[in-house]
Each structure stands twice: as structure tokens, then as C-alpha cells.
Amino acid sequence: MQKGDLLYAGKAKSVYRTGREGVVLIEFRDDITAFDGGKKDILERKGCFNASVSAYLFRLLEEHGIPTHFMDLVEDRLMRVRALTMIPLEVIVRNVAAGSMSRNYPIAEGTPLNPPVIVIDYKDDSRHDPMLNDDLIVALKILTPEELTRVKDIALQVNSVLVRFFSSLGITLVDFKLEFGRADGEIMLGDEISMDSMRLWDNRTGESLDKDVYRFSKGDVMEVYRRVAEKICAGEG
Ligand code: 5GP
């Protein structure tokens, strides 16, 4: 499949037109960034690992009836997807307190959250992705109240499927970030689900198996990404 014109280049992915209306290609590049782009590097083959993990997890979610933009992986870092009008939200689901939650609120890292906590941020690096609440999301006309209910419902369904899947691999799904978009009036999951957007802890050792290894220089990022990608793509453990 030929890449057409570049439509958009983000911090780690680029989106290209295809010959088909309503279908685009997402290229997972080797760029890795953290802290609003304050830390950045290029790590060889990182894009391939994130693309294969995203493809695996999107397929898994589709099997469970969750609507996603995923069509197929056409090359090792190139994913064919339905074109979406993206909704500028980062929908974060948390099963265990970590990261910004423990930094910003009096709750120790590692505290289980049951039921899971949904946090929704406004996706805008220039504003440092400020947290929203339901009233703000509706007031800003980002979603209708009905759409907001639907987005939260899908996010919790995704969480149920992924928690079960990672548990079978001996991994705790601590938290993750989703992005949604619209196509033909339907809201569906877009973007990626990868080691860049999830927080994963090894159940046995407590070791980070995600971008925290890069954010906080905890070790060999690519060795971790390769190991986790192999484990995920080998399926249930
Ligand atoms: P935190 O709010 O603790 O920084 O992040 C919570 C979860 O959402 C983590 O799994 C983190 O990787 C993900 N996340 C939050 N913001 C972003 C973002 O801008 N980009 C990506 N890729 N993931 C994010």
C-alpha cells in the first residue's frame, strides 16, 4: 500500500492519505518523547514494537465488540485505519494509583483503585493537557452528555478486556490513555494502545514495562519494549 500525502505529523506518529477515501495510514516512527516533548530521542525499531502491540490489542478489542479505527497492519510500522475526526481528549483509565495521580493528590503509588478511575484531559500540549470535568467537556462542546457517557462506557469496556488479558501474562495494567474520534456519526477508538500509552508493571518483580523506563531512565528501554511486545503478541500466557 502506497503512502500518499502527509496529513499530520505528531510527536511519534505520522498520518498519510491513501488512494481510498476514508482510509489513512498511521506510521509509527522511532521517535520517543516525554514531559511535553522536553525529553526526546530516536530509538531504533521502537515504532515497530508499538505498531505490533497496538494492532494486537485493537484486534483483541474488536473481537470483544469494541469499535476501533483499526483495519490491518500493512507493514511492520504502518497501520491502515479508518480516518477519524479526532476528539481532543485524552481519556485515562486508572486501576492503580501512579504517575500524575500520586504526584498531584494524596494517594500513594501502588494503591489499588476499585472501581477504576477515569480522568479526562484536554489534549493540548501548549496548555499542558489540563484536566477537564464533565461540565467543562459539555460546555466546550467537545462531546454531548450522551457521547460522554458512551466514551466512558467504551473506556471501561476496554479496561475490562485489557486487565484480563494482561493478568494472563502476569502483568498489572496500572493505567492507560485512549483517544477517540468520529466517523459517520459513530464514536470509536483511535490513536494507539502501546507501551507509550499504558503503564504496565510486572506482577512478580514490580518492574516497569512501559514508557516510564524512558521517562525516568530506569533501564534499557528497547530491551523492555522488545520483551513486552513479544510477550503480548504471543497472546495469553
Ligand atoms: P499520567 O497522568 O500518570 O502521566 O499518565 C497516565 C497514563 O496515561 C499513563 O499510562 C501515560 O502513559 C498515559 N498518558 C497520559 N498522557 C499521555 C500523553 O500525552 N501521551 C501518551 N502516549 N500517553 C499519555
- Which residue among 35, 92, 117, 127 has the greatest number of ligand 1 atoms within 8 angstroms of its CB, and so is best to mutate? 92
User: Across-strand partners of 82?
Assistant: 23
Centre of ligand 1 to C-alpha 121, Å, is 10
Centre of ligand 1 to C-alpha 213, Å, is 13
**Phi and psi for 16 in degrees, rounded to 5?**
-120, 145
Q: Which atom of ligand 1 is nearest to the CA of 100?
A: 3
Pairing of strands 186-189, 198-202: unpaired
Centre of ligand 1 to C-alpha 36, Å, is 11
57 and 103 part of one domain = no
Q: What is the pTM of this model?
A: 0.97
Q: pLDDT class for 36, splitting at 50, 70, 90?
A: confident
132 and 48 part of one domain = no
What residue numbers bound the domain in which 48 lies?
6-82
Q: Which of 82, 115, 131 is the last residue of a domain?
A: 82
pLDDT of residue 124: 95
Centre of ligand 1 to C-alpha 62, Å, is 23
70 and 91 part of one domain = no
174 and 103 part of one domain = yes
In a domain, 92, yes or no: yes
pLDDT of residue 130: 97
Centre of ligand 1 to C-alpha 21, Å, is 31
Instruction: Name the residue with the closest Cα to ligand 1, atom 7.
Output: 176
Q: CB neighbours (10 Å) of residue 131?
A: 13
Q: pLDDT class for 205, splitting at 50, 70, 90?
A: very high
SS3 121: strand
In a domain, 96, yes or no: yes
Residues 133-150 have pLDDT tens digits of: 999 999 999 999 999 999
Instruction: Name the residue with the closest Cα to ligand 1, atom 20.
Output: 197
